[in-house]
Chain A
Amino acid sequence: MQLKNNNQSVLQKIAPFIGLILIIVIITILNPGFLSVSNLMNVLRQVSINALIAFGMTFVILTGGIDLSVGATLALTGAVSAGMMASGMDPIFAMLLGLLLGAVLGAINGIIIAKGKVAPFIATLATMTIYRGLTLVYTDGRPISGLGDSLTFQMLGKGYFFGIPIPVVTMMVSFGILYFILKKTTFGRRVYAVGGNEEASILSGINSDRIKIYVYSLLGLLAALSALILTSRLNSAQPTAGEMFELDAIAAVVLGGTSLTGGRGWIVGTLIGALIIGVLNNGLNLIGVPSFFQQVVKGAVILLAVLLDRKKTT
């Protein structure tokens, strides 16, 4: 694969970008209002939550894994943070505890997968059910509200920074950091190595178990960050929050051209993949596609994008 000529891989990398432009052009023709600054900010804000999770999912998928429990992790960390805030705890402390909990829940996934040698799909399918169940136990199945009016917490989901929604700023800053980690650090290279050929990476002295635990923890942390943004935006924690988020995140990663078998892919593609999904969600509403049909269109676009990607790689 690596030996194939460079043109092909360049084409493969820009394919998602071309897809995004194409979708934007079609939607803009049907409703020019799409390109207004306020709508673009609106789209970016809607994308930010899925993008944050998808960035973490990129790391996991690069190691050849998958995580189905992120939606439930989001729900549980959001509920616990909200519960602590509602009971009067300092909101900043409650948010930090939420982030820590996210990382711990992720680490549990990583440990089960790395040390227990359980297939990631099965391990996280089980923890998804457990985390979702714990969320229902903790919340008693009801939304948690009355979170107080801490400015820091309110800003996280609803604030603006120089006119840019703060969730978008959070997304871009996280993107910058994660891009750097993946591209420029030893850890980043090891993530690719573990996913590319685990045996070889172990032989070359990489502690692949540790890498795996780290990437699942990172994803858990990002899911918790998304949970805080979502909780702030809705001013309440919903026990059903994050349902199907795992699939949106996986779709974003795959749309971005990252291989589900691991070792191949890039985080820029994931950002574009998340944008494609967000633009579709917003655009289909804007051009007034009936809601049942929207799901059909979304599924078809994902399928088409992946099929085109396949064509180019073979």
Chain B
Amino acid sequence: MKKMQLGFMLVAMMILAACSMEAPESSSEEESGDGGEASGDYTIGFSISTLNNPFFVTLNEGAEAKAEELGADLMVVDAQDNASKQASDIEDLIQQEVDLIMINPVDSEAVAAAVESANMANIPVITVDRSAAGGEVVSHIASDNIAGGEMAGEHLVSLVGDGAQVAELEGVSGSSAARERGEGFNNVAADSLDVVAKQTANFNRAEGLSVMENILQANPDVTGVFAHNDEMALGALEAIEASGKDITVVGFDATDDAVKAVEEGRLAGTIAQKPEMIGEMAIETAVQSLDGEEVEASIPVELELVQ
């Protein structure tokens, strides 16, 4: 009986000893024939969050055009907004031994493990538009949301005048976009505006409407509104139009609806990201990094005011 217990313990210990978190060393370091379509010097993998959203389609087109210009092979895999598919896609790119992987994460947390896998395989990673919560990244390329917030702030000041009472509709608390857009806006507002109300409407049009209704009740003298995205701006606009007041609203993102509202003169302005340029910058940075040049850890891409 004792012997059996000892035996069990030994087996259990051996099983535990065999467990590890490290991937086994791949001993087969043979050259993988890469289908014979090597047109460029570098093969860059690009895991994109979705190609079912015009923003990312344009971003991808920018990347593809730039890759062709610089003579790099770009392999695009579409995660279809599914974090687990993205993890598999990135593993597949690692298996193909691409020279560099650009990742546009579906979810910052969920992509961390895949970035670590790439690190372990010594494949450099560049994140695009959204950052990764873990692993080492050569560079992060995204819109300069802080500059965009400042741009919106300055535009609002130019329309409502120095010292006017304004409200700020914030995005999802803790999201990087809400944080940075708010920071930029407040850089400008601190000196020249009186922000009397600051509330979150979670990037959501319906919440933008109800939050704005409440703000109008509490602060009847508000003359301007900055919303962290267009959805909230359009919701706020509904509340303002229903109240019959004349309040200037500035949004962010330049969605189709918002651009139309700007053209109709209902919305005072919106800030446009340049997805095409984000894609181009990502490829440029990737090639620079592969050429052995130093690249910035964070590369902000400029924005544009639509008014």
On A, residues with C-beta under 8 Å from B are 30-33, 36-39, 42, 45-46, 49, 143, 145, 151, 154-155, 158-163, 166, 230, 233-236, 238, 240-241, 243, 281-282, 285-288, 290-292
Residue of B nearest to A147 (CB): B109
Contacting residues, chain B, for A281 (C-beta < 8 A): 88
Please judge, given known A-B contacts A33-B33, A145-B133, whether A291 and B95 are in contact too, CB under 8 Å: no
Contact with A along B71-99 (1 / 0, CB 8 A): 00001111001111001110111111100
The stretch of B21-29, B245-253, B273-281 in contact with A is B21-29
Please judge, given known A-B contacts A160-B19, A161-B18, whether A286 and B95 are in contact too, CB under 8 Å: yes
Contacting residues, chain A, for B15 (C-beta < 8 A): 161
**Known contacts A33-B95, A292-B78, then 11 further A-B pairs from the complex at CB < 8 Å, ordered by chain A residue:** A31-B33, A33-B96, A42-B95, A45-B91, A49-B84, A145-B110, A159-B19, A162-B18, A166-B19, A288-B75, A292-B51
Main secondary structure of the interface of A (DSSP, over half): helix
Q: B21, B27, B82, B109: which contacts A155 (Cβ < 8 A)?
A: B21
The 7 closest A-B pairs by CB, nearest first: A291-B78, A33-B32, A163-B24, A145-B109, A234-B110, A285-B92, A236-B109
Cβ of A31 and Cβ of B28 under 8 Å apart?
no
> Which of A143, A241, A285 counts the most chain B CB atoms within 10 A?
A285
Asked if B159 is at the interface (CB within 8 A of a chain A CB), the reply is no
Asked if B292 is at the interface (CB within 8 A of a chain A CB), the reply is no
Cβ of B88 and Cβ of A46 under 8 Å apart?
yes
Shortest CB distance A229–B (Å): 10
Q: B19, B32, B51: which contacts A291 (Cβ < 8 A)?
A: B51
27 contacting pairs across A/B (C-beta < 8 A): A31-B34, A32-B33, A33-B33, A33-B97, A37-B28, A38-B26, A38-B28, A42-B94, A49-B84, A145-B110, A155-B21, A158-B21, A163-B24, A233-B113, A234-B83, A234-B113, A235-B110, A236-B83, A236-B110, A240-B82, A243-B82, A281-B88, A285-B77, A285-B96, A288-B35, A291-B51, A291-B77
Asked if B20 is at the interface (CB within 8 A of a chain A CB), the reply is yes
Contacting residues, chain B, for A162 (C-beta < 8 A): 18
Complex Cα distance A154/B113, Å?
A: 11
Asked if B107 is at the interface (CB within 8 A of a chain A CB), the reply is yes
